[in-house]
Amino acid sequence: MTLILIYLATGLLSGFLAGLFGIGGGLIIVPLLLLSYRLQGLPESISIHLAVGTSLACIVFTALSSVRAHMAKVELEWRLVLQLSAGMVCGALLGGDIAAGLSATLLQQLIGLFALVMALQIWCDWRPQGKHPHVTRLERPLVGTAIGVSSALFGIGGGTLIVPYLRWRHVPMVQAIAISAACGIPVTVSATISYIYHGWHEPALPAHAFGFVYWPALLGIVLTSTLTARLGVRLAHRLSSLWLRRSFALLQLLIAIKFLFF
pLDDT in tens, 34-47: 989 988 888 888 89
Number of domains in the chain: 1
CB of 221 closer than 8 Å to CB of 7: yes
Instruction: Give dist(CA 258, CA 261) in Å, integer.
Output: 6
Instruction: Report pLDDT for 221.
Output: 93
pLDDT (tens digit per residue) in 52-96: 899 889 888 877 877 877 777 777 778 888 888 888 888 877 887
Q: Which pLDDT score is estimated for 88?
A: 83
Give the pLDDT band (50/70/90) at residue 118: confident
| Segment 34-42 long-range contacts (CB within 8 Å, at least 24 positions apart) | 35/6, 36/3, 36/6, 36/7, 36/217, 39/2, 39/3, 39/6, 40/3, 40/206, 42/204, 42/206
Q: Is residue 101 classed exposed, middle or buried when 0-12, 13-18 and 19+ CB atoms within 10 A define those classes?
A: exposed
Mean pLDDT, residues 188-202: 86
E-assigned strands of the chain?
209-210, 213-214
Which pTM does this prediction carry? 0.72
Q: Which residues have CB under 8 Å from 204's CB, separation 6+?
A: 42, 43, 45, 46
Domain that holds residue 190: 2-261
